[in-house]
Structure 1
């Protein structure tokens, strides 16, 4: 089980849909979140991409020296940069970080944003281009270890003698993650990536997606790892957690929700449609669980105004840990999490939930080999006892 956190490069808030209680999303804050994730024992951090975000590659590079073990799951969007240039960027970041790069292939999205980036391909064509892109990208990096060049001619992309002189630290290439819910996405995942990521849907829906991608990969003689992208709202008790969820949307109004949902409806992403179907725009300020708790402790309220991952695990530490274990039992071993505000929730989740996760994970967390103290010394003499989980 590998637990990842998130760098909020598209903004940070305490209350969704408003600037009330918002934090400035600048390098100093990103650095705080990264250092917290690194020191708390998270495997890595997801750094998103898009018009609303700071550039993912520059942010990742800026955090190398601030962290020690933390891996960077950097969003990579085909079509904006040539695969050979992207391979050089990846190799540089992987080398300078000592092998800490992972990439998250991003194909779908908002047609308006894509047009602004010079992308006018249809949904099907984008997946064709993405398949060609990641094949070239992987081949250039893999062959660099032998000093060889790559020729490739596809429907959308072509290279002749593409070569990488400085090979990656990671072999044969940095791990590739990818998420998508359409048939084209499942085909791409089965054929080309190492880890398939799903957004947080109810366990039965996730199980169906995992089974489908696994079967497609098996027909190609491949095996994949699987992961899930979720928000978390965890507190000492279930009641506290649901109050925190209510606080998160306490400044939302129906006009903002409706505007966000109209925008999301214009996207051609199958995953975004599935997120919208989970909540159907329902918003009851008096009872945030009504119509939005779509599975035990799985809340679709975040997706009322946030695109992409729109669900959160809400509950006590034990409840959230139990839900994570349920997903793990379906074959998921990568959990890419986030919470509002990200600095605070990174600490809270690690302190409350990490002790309840599998022993092999806990043994690798920082602090296990330290002498402490853990907690404030009592009366200048007594070191607090370590809690037994």
Structure 2
């Protein structure tokens, strides 16, 4: 099964490891070049994040899509900010203008501080209950061919029928992020792709099992596909890759005050940075506490340096080493790899040149081998089935 690569674009340069340079919050030229760099690098999609202080990511997706031909857009969306029928029409309309290149990434919200900036005062469990109902209404809006009514705990509506259904049928792909039991429960029910942050292989396998169990409990016969996020740090040799990794760590620590401001403005960790309330960040910090290096190439000090703030664990090494590490995750059931760098623009180009082709080629080789194996045993199975008293 082909692996999906997802990157991330923003409207101005910068990362936790660099000082933000003065400039417009929305740099149209940079946004256009950033999107095109990912398209040229053979990414399937790019994520566009969401926070209470960031630019409107739906408009960013529309702008970037107008300047690319193939690249898909994964638009982060927080339930509760707008009414679900309105959100459904937003994304259906965007799906038309992008010719079916849009997916929605549901982020229920792990920080009470960040949620309240947009006027949301529900606690975490209530937010997940609301997300469950929200997605029920959104999906029905995308698929209904006759007026419907809904009378739930959080949303009430009568005789709604959208005049714009998505290009993609039966609905836009739904990605879902979270690491708590509530996230597994809701995402296991609704997600097409369940997104995790980059933890060691054993812990990731445990989370995949939890997602699959939640999907089965919700009555699904096919579980969500799994996405895992990393920050690859590449070098032409192992030594140079590790030298670069330690430079990035040093600059991140030096800029930790600026990084905290970045989180506060754009990612919503704010005052929670040193004691994150969301389970995903707690898990990253727990992995970092166990040791700096895990498995083949997973490096955790950067996650610790920024307080477990989001996708922050690195995979360090040559392209061959990092490709092998990514394939280790494919081997345990991961189908989507979200990769972005600490030097976001240049790293996206390097991933396209040196990393993505290695992973795609190996996955394709494995798929060809599996197809050949199936073809080889098919005549034997058919003969057994045709034999008297035989069965396939």
Alpha carbons 1:14, 1:248 under 8 Å: kept: no
TM norm structure 1: 0.83
Aligned position for 1:180:
178
1:36 is aligned to 37
Q: Which residue number corresponds to residue 371 of structure 1?
A: none
Q: What residue number does 1:140 align with? A: 141
**Matching of residue 221 in structure 1 with residue 223 in structure 2:** no
Q: Report what 1:158 is aligned to.
A: 156
Distance 1:296 1:166 in 2: 47
Tell me by how many angstroms 1:51 deviates: 2.7
CA RMSD of aligned residues (A): 2.6
Question: Residues of 2 paired with 1:190 and 1:232: CA distance?
Answer: 28
The 5-angstrom pairing of residues 1-389 of structure 1 reads 1-9=3-11, 12-13=13-14, 16=17, 18-19=19-20, 26-143=27-144, 146=145, 148-219=146-217, 220-223=219-222, 224-253=224-253, 256=256, 260=260, 263-280=272-289, 291-303=291-303, 304-305=305-306, 307-359=309-361
- 8 Å CA contact 2:174–2:192 kept in 1: the answer is yes
- The runs of 5 or more residues in structure 2 that have no matched partner are 261-268, 366-392
User: Which residue of structure 2 aligns with residue 372 of structure 1?
Assistant: none
1:251 is paired with a residue whose SS is helix
1:367 is matched with which residue?
Answer: none
State the match for 1:378 in structure 2.
Answer: none
Unaligned runs of 5+ in 1: 283-290, 364-389
SS in 1 for 2:316: strand
- Per the alignment, in what secondary structure is the counterpart of residue 216 of structure 1? helix
Distance 1:162 1:154, change over 3 A: same
Q: Taking structure 1 as reference, are residues 265 and 15 closer, same or farther at Cα in structure 2, changes over 3 Å only?
A: closer
What is the CA–CA distance in structure 2 between the aligned matches of 1:230 and 1:32, rounded to whole Å?
A: 22
Is the Cα contact below 8 Å between 1:73 and 1:102 reproduced in 2?
yes
Q: Is the 8 A contact 1:275 1:309 kept in 2?
A: no
Judged with a 3 Å threshold, the aligned counterparts in structure 2 of structure 1 residues 21 and 250 are, in CA distance, closer, same or farther, namely: farther
Residue correspondences, number: 350
| 1: CA distance, partners of 2:50 / 2:163 | 27
CA shift digits 1:129-187 (9 cap, x unpaired) = 000001100110011xx3x2221121112221222102110111100000111111000
Structure (1 or 2) with the greater helix fraction: 2
Partners of 2:45 and 2:252 lie apart in 1 by: 31
